[in-house]
């Protein structure tokens, strides 16, 4: 039962062959069974297989090749558009143009995405989440014609794996779990929790490649810099407002 | 894996008996295997079983009885505190005090939560998501001692079910899935998509109870009003800023 959960690897290389429509329906049905606030289902899933559209999405997703390779791209969107339309057709004035509603819809979309991911993996398909969805929300909105009230939250590439990477390392369970209340980390806790990651072979390779002293510097100076994060944040907040969620 | 996904029901009544520590470890391990941006694991899980703490959480969660009944309450938090501390101990200045980082961490927390939910269900345990987590984030932060950089995103009650509700209705799959691009809904689409929900026995019961004309009005006038949503949004934005994510 637990097996696909424990065996999850992100797959970044896919075989050319696509998969059956029946499997896709299964994945989408799994998504639709996820918990949803008030059973409102305030999310949508855009299934993209068209080569030209995938090329555009590939541009948006920082030209990561798995977007071209994977036969199916699933874009999970927070979506109050459908619900609002229903309200207005039913003599009800929706009040869902606010930050809480955006988060509510994003939660719906993400729980659905994880169900889809696990359903795909339980059918021997591989998946990869694309964090770039939030970075380039404006481009994705344009490419996929997302209407007001709709914001892309995450994306899954789905296809048959053409690689079999090992399990990714994780922090020890005690690092992320707190019993009863949150327990602040002492400097010693941090050293202990991150010891394996700090000293991994991959880390040493990264430090050499980047000519940096610590793995944390790879994150703060290369991967996720303050400058980039702040620029993306500003743009994302604009997009969110433009799509009809005031703040 | 598909079975627990397709059979998911939210469980709101629990037996008194708790479950084995081994099962809890299994659920938490499942959570830790979820995809996470850059393998940063920027989330924490607070496991609460203490009666007095659960009483406080029950107050925060609108006194929903499952919070008292369920032996275990899992609060999933967006958490950049641990990662920031690691950066600072490793000669790296983190730039994660922004909106994008908050969303990144929230996504991590939510994917982990859904893995935990499914792992629990695959062990015949029942779960329920508590949307009230965002409504009362300030109270939960205080109850669970959540530090700066940490924000509760969702909560699961976990325990052996003492009820066996039927599957909840869902919109037809075509309602939430778009092929290639987003397809705007026509008024006829909306009528068709919502027909079953509009005319369900439960809906008619709700309309009578609330003396309202449409189900949408139950949502906009009773369950999720504009006034409540806007007040909660304002407070939540304050909490987010106070916890160190500028906007």
CB contact under 8 A, B229 and A98: yes
A242 domain residue, yes or no: no
> Which one-letter DSSP state was computed for residue B80?
-
B61 domain residue, yes or no: yes
Compute the nearest-CA separation of B4 from chain A (Å): 8
B91 domain residue, yes or no: yes
Compute the nearest-CA separation of B216 from chain A (Å): 5
- B35 close to A (CB below 8 A): yes
DSSP string, chain A: --HHHHT--B---B-S----HHHHHHHHHHHHTS--GGG---EEEEEE--HHHHHHHHHHTTT-THHHHSSEEEEEEEE-HHHHHHHHHTT------SHHHHHHHHHHHHHHHHHHHHHHHHTT-EEEE-THHHHTHHHHHHHTTPPTTEEEEEEEEEE-BS--PPPPP---HHHHEEESS--PPPHHHHHHHHHHHHT-HHHHHHHHHHT-S-HHHIIIIIIS-HHHHHHHHHHHHHHHHHTT---
A239 domain residue, yes or no: no
- A111 close to B (CB below 8 A): yes
Compute the nearest-CA separation of A197 from chain B (Å): 11
CA atoms of B175 and B203, how far apart (whole Å): 19
Tens digits of residue pLDDT in A111-141: 999 999 999 999 999 999 999 999 999 999 9
CB contact under 8 A, B247 and A237: yes
- A103 close to B (CB below 8 A): yes
**CA–CA–CA angle A64, A69, A75 (5° rounding):** 70
Mutation target for A interface from B1, B171, B190, B206: give the one with most A CBs within 10 A. Answer: B1
Q: How many folded domains does chain B comprise?
A: 1
CB contact under 8 A, B33 and A6: yes
Tens digits of residue pLDDT in A77-92: 999 999 999 999 999 9
A90 Cβ neighbours under 8 A, 6+ residues apart: B194, B198, B214, B215, B216, B217
A198 domain residue, yes or no: no
pLDDT for A2 equals 85
Is residue B1 predicted with pLDDT exceeding 80? no
CB contact under 8 A, A3 and B6: no
Span B40-63, average pLDDT: 98
B243 domain residue, yes or no: no
pLDDT for B35 equals 98
CB contact under 8 A, A82 and B134: no
- A114 close to B (CB below 8 A): yes
Residue span of the structural domain in which B23 resides: 2-166
pLDDT for B237 equals 97
- B137 close to A (CB below 8 A): no
B150 domain residue, yes or no: yes
Percent of chain B with pLDDT over 70: 100
Residues of chain A with Cβ-Cβ distance to B94 below 8 Å are 216, 219-220, 226
Question: Considering chain B, what is the average pLDDT of its residues?
Answer: 97
pLDDT for A1 equals 55
DSSP string, A151-196: EEEEEEEEE-BS--PPPPP---HHHHEEESS--PPPHHHHHHHHHH
Q: What is the CATH number of the domain that holds B130?
A: 3.40.109.10
pLDDT for A164 equals 97
In the sheet that holds B150-159, the strands lie side by side as A177-179, B43-48, B72-79, B150-159, B126-129
Contact B29, A156 (CB under 8 A): no
Tens digits of residue pLDDT in B97-133: 999 999 999 999 999 999 999 999 999 999 999 999 9
pLDDT for B247 equals 78
A233 domain residue, yes or no: no
CA atoms of A125 and A117, how far apart (whole Å): 9
Residues of chain B with Cβ-Cβ distance to A146 below 8 Å are 182
DSSP string, B195-237: HHHHT-HHHHHHHHHHT-S-HHHIIIIIIS-HHHHHHHHHHHH
Residue A88: closest C-alpha in chain B = B216
CA atoms of B233 and A245, how far apart (whole Å): 11
């Amino acid at each position: 039962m637990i097996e696909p959960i424990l065996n999850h690897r992100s797959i970044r290389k896919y075989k050319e062959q696509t998969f059956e429509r029946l499997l896709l329906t299964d994945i989408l049905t799994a998504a639709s069974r996820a918990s949803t606030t008030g059973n409102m289902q305030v999310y949508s899933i855009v299934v993209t297989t068209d080569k030209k559209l995938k090329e555009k999405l590939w541009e948006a997703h920082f030209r990561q090749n798995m977007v071209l390779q994977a036969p199916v791209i699933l874009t999970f969107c927070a979506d109050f558009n459908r619900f609002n339309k229903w309200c207005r057709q039913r003599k009800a004035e929706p009040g869902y143009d606010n930050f809480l509603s955006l988060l509510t819809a994003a939660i719906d979309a993400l729980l659905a995405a994880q169900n889809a991911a696990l359903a795909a993996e339980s059918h021997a398909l591989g998946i990869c989440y694309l964090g770039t969805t939030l970075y380039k929300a404006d481009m994705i909105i344009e490419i996929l014609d997302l209407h007001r009230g709709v914001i892309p939250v995450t994306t899954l590439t789905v296809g048959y794996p053409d690689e079999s990477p090992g399990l990714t390392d994780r922090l020890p369970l005690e690092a992320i779990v707190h019993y009863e209340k949150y327990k602040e980390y002492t400097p010693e806790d941090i050293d202990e929790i991150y010891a394996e990651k700090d000293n991994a072979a991959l880390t040493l390779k990264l430090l050499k490649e980047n000519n940096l002293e610590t793995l944390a510097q790879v994150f703060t100076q290369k991967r996720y810099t303050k400058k980039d994060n702040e620029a993306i944040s500003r743009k994302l907040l604009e997009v969110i407002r433009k799509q009809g969620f005031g703040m």
